[in-house]
Chains A and B, each alone.
Chain A
């Protein structure tokens, strides 16, 4: 009986680990808040900018529709909750003509569009927009879509456009009633491992209780 319970437990843990791996999503760009002196890490960067998040928007051609993700993470090594905001500073000087030809949309939490305008504009990101309230290890994602018109002329061959996004973090002590991360794999993974832990604890209690009863009966 005990061996069967152990086998079930092992199977449960294996399934839990397998599920957690398959739930991890790939993000094209990442904004990671690490606190301390460095504060933020922007990846992957590029030959044009060390903080470039737009790895999927290189070498675009007329008529193309490109999509990519940006993952925003809290890797701050402290028991703090962070509210992370973003806003657009618009096109860098000299980039306006090219970027004004392109349409960019930014969606968070899969259905909340926070930006839908020409890429040189600030539009819905002119002011600070809360993109996530994250505890340590939490993350959220931004889905980006870039539409390049078919009418984009030859004068924009090899054009380079720079667009600046600013991020702001406010740190808070964690309160008992703080909500779980709004999205991200870590929340689901937490529930899976919490369930596994509860299961193990319950099993242990049952086994101990049974053994005591057996010992008492024998006594």
Chain B
């Protein structure tokens, strides 16, 4: 009898130890896991500009593609040239102006493009040694520059052989990013995004 009780006690103790050990072991393991995914996005910015030319002071009439006819010496023509930043990053802006005069057919003379006189804004723009006009400020997204020029006129001293000539003004605008690209426009590199009228 005593032996039976002893064996039973041992078995009971063993059972208790086993149960305790399993509980400890169970609590040492994770009993729940969960997984989920984050989709992370990196985007690149852009530098993009629009060259705008207006035929009126109110900037409501775009300058005609075919130009303006029947301009006489001494006349002043409204032609407003400005640049708008339509990209997502701040930009440095520069503009090149190319002037030329095409004389009428049969006229055997040399035309002087300096007869095309443009009232360049030298307050907000600076003429560089390379012939480009550099905008003095950074142009933020959505902003438009102060106009580079607003009028074109021809002197009264123009000689008669200029009759029926065609005065051509080609304006080309360039932009480059401001970030990590110099403190002034004329120090910047990587000029691209040409827009021309």
Contact = CB atoms under 8 A, between A and B. Distances in A.
Interface of A: 31, 33, 35, 39-40, 42, 46, 48-49, 51-54, 57-64, 83, 89, 92, 98-99, 102, 119, 146, 148, 150, 152, 154, 156-173, 175
A158 B33 CA distance: 39
Interface stretch (B40-48, B71-79, B131-139): B40-48
A102 B60 CA distance: 44
Contact of B43 (A39, A58, A167): A58
Contacts of B180: 61-64, 150
B90 to A, nearest CB: 9
Interface stretch (B24-32, B106-114, B159-167): B24-32
Given A64-B180, A150-B180, A158-B88, A89 B37 contact: yes
B41 A49 contact: yes
A59 B40 contact: no
Contacts of A170: 30, 32-33
A102 B29 CA distance: 40
Given A31-B38, A157-B46, 6 more contacts: A54-B40, A60-B43, A157-B48, A158-B44, A162-B40, A164-B40
Given A61-B89, A62-B180, A83-B30, A158 B46 contact: yes
Interface residues of B, number: 30
A162 B30 contact: no
B45 A60 contact: yes
A59 to B, nearest CB: 4
Contacts of A48: 41, 43
B35 interface: yes
Contacts of A156: 44
Nearest to B40: A54
A150 B46 CA distance: 14
